[in-house]
Protein backbone atom coordinates (compact mmCIF):
# COMPACT_ATOMS: atom_id res chain seq x y z
CA UNK A 1 0.00 0.00 0.00
CA UNK A 2 1.30 3.43 -0.89
CA UNK A 3 1.53 6.09 1.80
CA UNK A 4 -1.05 8.31 0.10
CA UNK A 5 -3.46 5.37 -0.03
CA UNK A 6 -2.98 4.66 3.67
CA UNK A 7 -3.48 8.32 4.51
CA UNK A 8 -6.67 8.46 2.41
CA UNK A 9 -8.02 5.42 4.25
CA UNK A 10 -7.29 6.98 7.63
CA UNK A 11 -8.72 10.37 6.66
CA UNK A 12 -11.94 8.69 5.56
CA UNK A 13 -12.48 7.54 9.14
CA UNK A 14 -10.91 10.21 11.33
CA UNK A 15 -9.86 13.86 11.23
CA UNK A 16 -6.94 14.81 8.99
CA UNK A 17 -4.77 15.97 11.88
CA UNK A 18 -5.32 12.65 13.67
CA UNK A 19 -4.52 10.73 10.49
CA UNK A 20 -1.22 12.57 10.10
CA UNK A 21 -0.30 11.91 13.74
CA UNK A 22 -1.14 8.22 13.39
CA UNK A 23 1.03 7.93 10.27
CA UNK A 24 3.85 9.69 12.08
CA UNK A 25 3.62 7.20 14.94
CA UNK A 26 3.51 4.22 12.59
CA UNK A 27 6.18 5.32 10.09
CA UNK A 28 8.22 8.04 11.78
CA UNK A 29 7.42 10.45 8.93
CA UNK A 30 6.49 14.02 9.89
CA UNK A 31 3.96 16.12 7.96
CA UNK A 32 6.47 17.31 5.34
CA UNK A 33 7.94 13.83 4.83
CA UNK A 34 4.44 12.43 4.37
CA UNK A 35 4.01 14.76 1.39
CA UNK A 36 7.45 14.05 -0.07
CA UNK A 37 7.06 10.27 0.27
CA UNK A 38 3.37 10.08 -0.65
CA UNK A 39 4.04 7.59 -3.45
CA UNK A 40 6.33 5.35 -1.38
CA UNK A 41 5.22 1.90 -0.32
CA UNK A 42 4.43 1.47 3.38
CA UNK A 43 5.60 -1.72 5.07
CA UNK A 44 3.00 -4.23 6.17
CA UNK A 45 4.04 -3.74 9.79
CA UNK A 46 3.61 0.05 9.61
CA UNK A 47 0.23 -0.35 7.92
CA UNK A 48 -0.94 -2.75 10.63
CA UNK A 49 0.23 -0.37 13.35
CA UNK A 50 -1.52 2.59 11.72
CA UNK A 51 -4.79 0.69 11.42
CA UNK A 52 -4.52 -0.48 15.02
CA UNK A 53 -4.07 3.11 16.18
CA UNK A 54 -7.00 4.16 14.00
CA UNK A 55 -9.14 1.55 15.75
CA UNK A 56 -8.29 3.10 19.13
CA UNK A 57 -9.18 6.55 17.85
CA UNK A 58 -12.49 5.39 16.38
CA UNK A 59 -13.29 3.80 19.73
CA UNK A 60 -13.05 7.24 21.35
CA UNK A 61 -9.55 7.15 22.81
CA UNK A 62 -8.23 10.75 22.78
CA UNK A 63 -5.20 11.34 20.56
CA UNK A 64 -3.27 12.65 23.57
CA UNK A 65 -3.60 9.21 25.16
CA UNK A 66 -2.69 7.42 21.94
CA UNK A 67 0.44 9.51 21.42
CA UNK A 68 1.12 9.78 25.16
CA UNK A 69 1.86 13.48 24.82
CA UNK A 70 0.17 16.87 24.64
CA UNK A 71 1.69 20.30 24.16
CA UNK A 72 0.77 22.99 26.69
CA UNK A 73 2.24 26.49 26.89
CA UNK A 74 4.83 25.44 24.32
CA UNK A 75 6.03 22.51 26.44
CA UNK A 76 5.59 18.74 25.97
CA UNK A 77 3.59 16.89 28.63
CA UNK A 78 3.23 13.16 29.06
CA UNK A 79 -0.42 12.14 29.35
CA UNK A 80 -2.30 8.94 30.00
CA UNK A 81 -5.77 8.01 31.18
CA UNK A 82 -4.97 8.90 34.80
CA UNK A 83 -4.76 12.64 34.07
CA UNK A 84 -6.88 15.34 32.48
CA UNK A 85 -5.51 16.30 29.06
CA UNK A 86 -4.08 19.87 29.21
CA UNK A 87 -6.20 22.28 27.18
CA UNK A 88 -5.39 25.61 25.52
CA UNK A 89 -8.09 27.37 27.58
CA UNK A 90 -6.11 26.62 30.74
CA UNK A 91 -3.16 28.62 29.39
CA UNK A 92 -5.25 31.61 30.49
CA UNK A 93 -4.67 30.50 34.07
CA UNK A 94 -0.90 30.44 33.51
CA UNK A 95 -0.96 33.90 31.89
CA UNK A 96 -2.86 35.37 34.83
CA UNK A 97 -0.57 33.70 37.38
CA UNK A 98 2.52 35.08 35.65
CA UNK A 99 1.05 38.58 35.76
CA UNK A 100 0.33 38.23 39.48
CA UNK A 101 3.84 36.87 40.06
CA UNK A 102 5.30 40.15 38.80
CA UNK A 103 4.28 41.72 42.13
CA UNK A 104 6.81 39.55 43.98
CA UNK A 105 10.58 39.22 43.74
CA UNK A 106 10.58 35.43 44.15
CA UNK A 107 7.05 34.21 44.90
CA UNK A 108 6.24 30.90 46.52
CA UNK A 109 3.66 29.30 44.24
CA UNK A 110 1.35 26.28 44.56
CA UNK A 111 -0.43 24.45 41.74
CA UNK A 112 -3.38 22.86 43.55
CA UNK A 113 -5.19 19.92 41.86
CA UNK A 114 -2.21 19.75 39.53
CA UNK A 115 -3.21 16.69 37.46
CA UNK A 116 -0.52 16.34 34.77
CA UNK A 117 1.42 19.20 36.37
CA UNK A 118 0.84 21.41 33.33
CA UNK A 119 0.00 24.67 35.12
CA UNK A 120 2.69 24.52 37.77
CA UNK A 121 5.34 23.29 35.36
CA UNK A 122 4.58 26.02 32.83
CA UNK A 123 4.81 28.67 35.54
CA UNK A 124 8.06 27.24 36.88
CA UNK A 125 9.56 27.08 33.40
CA UNK A 126 8.55 30.67 32.61
CA UNK A 127 9.86 32.14 35.86
CA UNK A 128 12.78 29.76 36.52
CA UNK A 129 11.65 29.28 40.11
CA UNK A 130 10.27 26.26 42.00
CA UNK A 131 6.52 25.70 42.02
CA UNK A 132 4.89 23.26 44.45
CA UNK A 133 2.37 20.69 43.20
CA UNK A 134 -0.33 18.61 44.87
CA UNK A 135 -3.14 16.29 43.86
CA UNK A 136 -5.45 13.71 45.40
CA UNK A 137 -4.50 11.06 42.79
CA UNK A 138 -1.20 9.21 43.30
CA UNK A 139 -1.13 8.23 39.62
CA UNK A 140 -1.62 11.82 38.50
CA UNK A 141 0.99 13.09 40.93
CA UNK A 142 3.59 10.68 39.58
CA UNK A 143 2.97 11.96 36.05
CA UNK A 144 3.12 15.54 37.34
CA UNK A 145 6.51 14.84 38.89
CA UNK A 146 7.72 13.34 35.61
CA UNK A 147 6.50 16.31 33.55
CA UNK A 148 7.96 18.84 35.97
CA UNK A 149 11.35 17.13 35.90
CA UNK A 150 11.26 16.81 32.12
CA UNK A 151 10.54 20.50 31.52
CA UNK A 152 12.41 22.21 34.35
CA UNK A 153 15.31 19.84 34.97
CA UNK A 154 14.53 19.82 38.71
CA UNK A 155 12.42 17.78 41.10
CA UNK A 156 9.13 19.25 42.27
CA UNK A 157 7.89 19.57 45.82
CA UNK A 158 4.91 17.38 44.93
CA UNK A 159 2.61 16.18 47.70
CA UNK A 160 -0.30 13.75 47.77
CA UNK A 161 -3.56 14.70 49.44
CA UNK A 162 -6.95 16.36 49.20
CA UNK A 163 -6.78 20.11 48.57
CA UNK A 164 -4.73 21.76 51.35
CA UNK A 165 -4.24 18.69 53.54
CA UNK A 166 -0.59 18.30 52.42
CA UNK A 167 0.12 21.97 53.15
CA UNK A 168 -0.98 22.33 56.76
CA UNK A 169 0.74 25.32 58.34
CA UNK A 170 2.30 26.49 55.06
CA UNK A 171 1.56 29.64 53.07
CA UNK A 172 2.13 30.87 49.54
CA UNK A 173 2.20 34.09 47.55
CA UNK A 174 0.22 32.57 44.68
CA UNK A 175 -2.13 29.59 44.56
CA UNK A 176 -3.32 28.56 41.10
CA UNK A 177 -5.85 25.80 40.52
CA UNK A 178 -7.77 24.15 37.71
CA UNK A 179 -10.05 22.05 39.93
CA UNK A 180 -13.04 19.90 38.98
CA UNK A 181 -15.99 22.23 38.39
CA UNK A 182 -18.55 20.65 36.05
CA UNK A 183 -22.04 19.75 37.16
CA UNK A 184 -23.28 16.21 36.61
CA UNK A 185 -25.53 17.36 33.76
CA UNK A 186 -22.75 19.36 32.06
CA UNK A 187 -20.49 16.34 32.25
CA UNK A 188 -23.13 14.12 30.64
CA UNK A 189 -23.30 16.59 27.74
CA UNK A 190 -19.57 16.30 26.98
CA UNK A 191 -18.23 14.39 23.98
CA UNK A 192 -17.31 10.72 24.04
CA UNK A 193 -13.57 11.50 24.05
CA UNK A 194 -13.93 13.59 27.20
CA UNK A 195 -15.55 10.71 29.03
CA UNK A 196 -12.35 8.70 28.50
CA UNK A 197 -10.58 11.16 30.82
CA UNK A 198 -10.76 10.65 34.61
CA UNK A 199 -14.23 11.57 35.80
CA UNK A 200 -12.84 12.77 39.12
CA UNK A 201 -11.10 15.59 37.26
CA UNK A 202 -14.41 17.02 36.03
CA UNK A 203 -17.19 16.76 38.63
CA UNK A 204 -17.06 19.68 41.08
CA UNK A 205 -19.87 18.61 43.41
CA UNK A 206 -23.16 20.23 44.31
CA UNK A 207 -25.97 21.36 42.07
CA UNK A 208 -23.80 24.12 40.62
CA UNK A 209 -20.54 22.15 40.39
CA UNK A 210 -18.81 24.51 42.81
CA UNK A 211 -18.45 22.54 46.05
CA UNK A 212 -14.72 21.94 45.51
CA UNK A 213 -14.13 25.55 44.49
CA UNK A 214 -15.97 26.74 47.60
CA UNK A 215 -13.68 24.60 49.74
CA UNK A 216 -10.59 25.91 47.95
CA UNK A 217 -11.56 29.56 48.30
CA UNK A 218 -12.63 29.21 51.93
CA UNK A 219 -9.45 27.41 52.97
CA UNK A 220 -6.93 29.19 50.74
CA UNK A 221 -7.22 32.42 52.71
CA UNK A 222 -5.34 30.61 55.51
CA UNK A 223 -2.59 29.49 53.12
CA UNK A 224 -1.85 32.82 51.49
CA UNK A 225 0.56 35.49 52.65
CA UNK A 226 -0.92 38.97 52.98
CA UNK A 227 -1.22 40.37 49.48
CA UNK A 228 -1.13 36.88 47.96
CA UNK A 229 -3.31 35.78 45.07
CA UNK A 230 -5.71 32.88 44.50
CA UNK A 231 -6.44 32.05 40.85
CA UNK A 232 -9.04 29.49 39.76
CA UNK A 233 -10.30 28.23 36.43
CA UNK A 234 -14.03 27.64 36.17
CA UNK A 235 -16.87 27.77 33.65
CA UNK A 236 -18.12 31.10 32.33
CA UNK A 237 -21.60 30.17 33.57
CA UNK A 238 -20.25 30.08 37.14
CA UNK A 239 -18.38 33.38 37.20
CA UNK A 240 -20.97 35.48 39.04
CA UNK A 241 -21.31 32.87 41.77
CA UNK A 242 -17.52 32.49 42.00
CA UNK A 243 -17.08 36.25 42.34
CA UNK A 244 -19.46 36.19 45.31
CA UNK A 245 -17.58 33.25 46.83
CA UNK A 246 -14.32 35.18 46.57
CA UNK A 247 -15.90 38.32 48.00
CA UNK A 248 -17.46 36.59 51.00
CA UNK A 249 -14.18 34.80 51.75
CA UNK A 250 -12.47 38.18 52.15
CA UNK A 251 -10.65 38.55 48.83
CA UNK A 252 -10.19 41.95 47.23
CA UNK A 253 -9.16 43.10 43.75
CA UNK A 254 -11.30 40.34 42.21
CA UNK A 255 -10.65 40.05 38.48
CA UNK A 256 -11.88 37.82 35.63
CA UNK A 257 -9.88 36.79 32.58
CA UNK A 258 -11.27 35.56 29.26
CA UNK A 259 -9.84 32.66 27.27
CA UNK A 260 -8.91 32.68 23.58
CA UNK A 261 -12.55 32.04 22.65
CA UNK A 262 -13.60 35.17 24.52
CA UNK A 263 -15.31 33.26 27.33
CA UNK A 264 -14.72 34.10 30.99
CA UNK A 265 -12.34 31.39 32.16
CA UNK A 266 -10.25 32.47 35.17
CA UNK A 267 -11.13 34.36 38.32
CA UNK A 268 -8.60 35.62 40.83
CA UNK A 269 -8.44 37.76 43.92
CA UNK A 270 -5.95 39.10 46.45
CA UNK A 271 -5.80 38.54 50.19
CA UNK A 272 -6.01 41.88 51.98
CA UNK A 273 -6.80 45.37 50.78
CA UNK A 274 -3.38 46.84 50.00
Q: Residue 18 and residue 52: Cα distance in Å, rounded?
A: 13
Task: Give the whole-angstrom CA distance, residue 13 versus residue 36.
Answer: 23
Position 103 pLDDT exceeds 90: yes
Proportion of the chain above pLDDT 90, given as a percent? 81
Instruction: Report d(CA 16, CA 92) in Å as an integer.
Output: 27
Q: What is the pLDDT of residue 39?
A: 87
Beta strands 109-112 and 131-135, pairing class: parallel
Pick the CATH number of 70-271 from 3.40.50.150, 3.30.750.210, 1.10.3720.10, 3.30.70.240: 3.40.50.150
Packed helices 118-127 and 91-101: angle between N→C axes, nearest 10 degrees:
40
Note the helical H segments in the chain.
Answer: 3-11, 16-27, 31-36, 44-58, 63-67, 91-101, 118-127, 138-152, 184-188, 211-220, 239-248
At 151-182, the pLDDT tens digits run 999 999 999 999 999 999 999 999 999 999 99
Is the overall model pTM greater than 0.95, yes or no?
no
Domains of the chain, residue spans: 3-59, 70-271
Given a cut of 60, whether residue 142 has pLDDT beyond it is yes
Report residue 132's pLDDT band, with 50, 70 and 90 as the boundaries. Answer: very high
Mean of per-residue pLDDT scores for the chain = 95
Average pLDDT over residues 251-256: 96
Return the pLDDT at 274.
53
Higher-confidence residue of 79 and 34: namely 79
The rounded Cα 191 to chain-centroid distance in angstroms is 17
Question: Can you give the pLDDT at residue 79?
Answer: 96
Amino acid sequence: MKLKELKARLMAETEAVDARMIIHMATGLDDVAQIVHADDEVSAESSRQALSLLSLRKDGTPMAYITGEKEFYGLPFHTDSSVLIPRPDTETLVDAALECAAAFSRPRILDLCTGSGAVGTAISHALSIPVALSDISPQALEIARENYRRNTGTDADARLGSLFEPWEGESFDIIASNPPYLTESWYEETERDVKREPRIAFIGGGDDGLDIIRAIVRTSIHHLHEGGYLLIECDYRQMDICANIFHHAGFSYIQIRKDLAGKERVIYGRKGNQ
